[in-house]
Chains A and B, each alone.
Chain A
């Protein structure tokens, strides 16, 4: 009792000051996020459920009840999932190679990763259309080599879309994984091996769980970028592969249906949030 009475008055102000400092640090970003993101989101949500006659769920019924729009949602999901999966499969070993590289090689590899980030998505997507066109470099080369006689249709296929998306979003997968792998103490793997774990067991029970935070970050980034990509599907596949993002653009720019566009936006956001939240959950409970 006496113990409890003594320290309390001494420590209480210190804690309060700490808390105040913390609030002080968070406040500016809180204001910005609240103003720039939260407010528009609330408006978006409002527009999607309100029309001239009051509250309505018609837009959502149309989105989730029409086969065409279910197809659109599926296209977005497919784009997001395939891009994320392929980007992960390429990035994971690449991150280890990058972490193992030394000196000039490492600098060059990192530069090739960072430099494309400086170019706009539109430029990169256009570059892919130039490469993949019927009279593009890839087809011309294959014809010149005698591999094929007539140009293969590459542009405006799903393959072109995924190849382009993977290429453009790849750094967002490699960098977070690399950041974790570069910090990974080789002693963990050595300790596992002396405890009897084969390289394969060590990989699945030690390396993979320890690099999971990087994977989660990469997956969250690449999925939310690719599921909502607008420029990439527009330029690389076009009309025949409508996604939520292109549907939103159409609703606002052509059809003048802001309510429907808002609803599509909410669905898209919901998908992205669901995946990111799921990832975060997985990273907290590795076992």
Chain B
């Protein structure tokens, strides 16, 4: 099978619990060997989507296909989908090796093959020396690795991780993100990673699906998601931004001029004159001073937050609007609180979004 052919296809999957629609016609196609992250706020349906793929929750409508097979009505134990639960759900009555061997044992694999596979899976997660330990005698990070080893030992067609790292402390979590990504690439696993940690999403994945209220708002590579957010929700959920309210004055092929309380700004977007919009830019696009054709606005510095290689400067631009700039030391002097400054940023990095309630 080629690398780019669809491997997991979710087609129009919907799920309701009582009156609430938890999944609203989800479409998602994942290529073989790809690592996709589901990113979204609490309650947006991430876990439910994973459970629908694993067969642990039956969708009301739609289809799930895996490795060319329609698995919509296949029970979970015949799907070959690996799941790493947030709570790990390791079997407390079995040892580390017993847990990892479980999936192979229930498949009736020969004893010798099981032993080799268990050894291999445990050495992948660097836990070979703990094979005969009880689960209760492991640290959180070690349990996480056992859960991973247990899931990969059966060579599932797709691996699902539901906030698998969120129980770890920050340092360990960051180490595991890098390690896990490398490991998944080594075994060429196709995987879906659920998280509400945007850094984790950007670090781990080939593509990120931003979910909101049971829908996928944008499915894109991390870089594109950050640079070209498709909606205000995606813009807000990933990274920081400056957002200014305004009304479209004039529009011409993909560009709009917007009247705002901090002056006239230009942005990318397609709108009719008179539409209420929000104009947005990423903080690292903002520079001190004027620059030719660029957008610019002035104000008084409200706060300066030093963050090592960069400094975040928040500017009160009056009329309830504020600007957020991320300045690096190379840009010259960093302003101080109460300084009056002017900031400018390129029109090609300015986006207009329809004014909508933030989810």
Chain A residues packing against B (C-beta within 8 Å): 185, 187-188, 190-199, 201-202, 205-206, 209-210, 212, 286-287
Contacts and interface: CB of A to CB of B under 8 A. Distances in A.
Contact of A185 (B76, B83, B87, B103): B87
B87 A194 contact: no
B146 to A, nearest CB: 12
A286 B154 CA distance: 24
B226 interface: no
A191 B106 contact: no
Contacts of B55: 193-194
B80 interface: yes
Contacts of A193: 55-56, 75-77
A187 to B, nearest CB: 4
Contact of A194 (B81, B91, B93, B98): B81
Nearest to A191: B89
B154 A195 contact: yes
A205 B106 contact: yes
Nearest to B51: A190
A197 to B, nearest CB: 4
Nearest to B153: A195
A188 B91 contact: yes
Interface of B: 54-56, 75-83, 85, 87, 89-94, 98, 102-103, 106-107, 150-151, 154
Q: Interface centre among A190, A192, A195, A209, by most B CB within 10 Å? A: A195
B106 A196 contact: yes
Contacts of A205: 102, 106
27 contacts: A187-B87, A190-B76, A190-B85, A192-B77, A193-B76, A194-B54, A194-B55, A194-B56, A194-B76, A194-B77, A194-B79, A194-B82, A194-B151, A195-B77, A195-B102, A196-B78, A196-B80, A196-B106, A196-B107, A196-B154, A197-B103, A198-B77, A201-B77, A205-B102, A205-B106, A210-B93, A287-B94
Nearest to A188: B89
A197 B106 contact: yes
A287 B56 CA distance: 28
B77 A196 contact: yes
B89 A187 contact: yes
A210 B90 CA distance: 12
Contacts of A191: 83, 85, 89-91
B64 to A, nearest CB: 14
A190 B78 CA distance: 13
Contacts of B54: 190, 194
Q: Secondary structure of the A side of the interface?
A: helix
Contacts of B82: 194-195
A199 B54 CA distance: 15
Contacts of B107: 196
Contacts of B93: 209-210, 212, 286-287
A195 B150 contact: yes
Contacts of A199: 77
Given A185-B89, A206-B91, A190 B83 contact: yes
A190 B89 CA distance: 9
A213 to B, nearest CB: 10
B92 A210 contact: yes
B165 to A, nearest CB: 17
Nearest to A195: B103
Nearest to B86: A187
Contacts of A209: 93
A287 B87 CA distance: 24
B83 A194 contact: yes
Contacts of B87: 185, 187
Contacts of A185: 87, 89
A69 B228 CA distance: 90
A244 to B, nearest CB: 36
Contacts of B106: 192, 195-198, 201, 205
A250 B98 CA distance: 54
A286 B151 CA distance: 23
A41 B187 CA distance: 65
Nearest to B56: A190
A212 B94 CA distance: 13
A199 to B, nearest CB: 8
Nearest to A208: B93
A188 B82 CA distance: 14
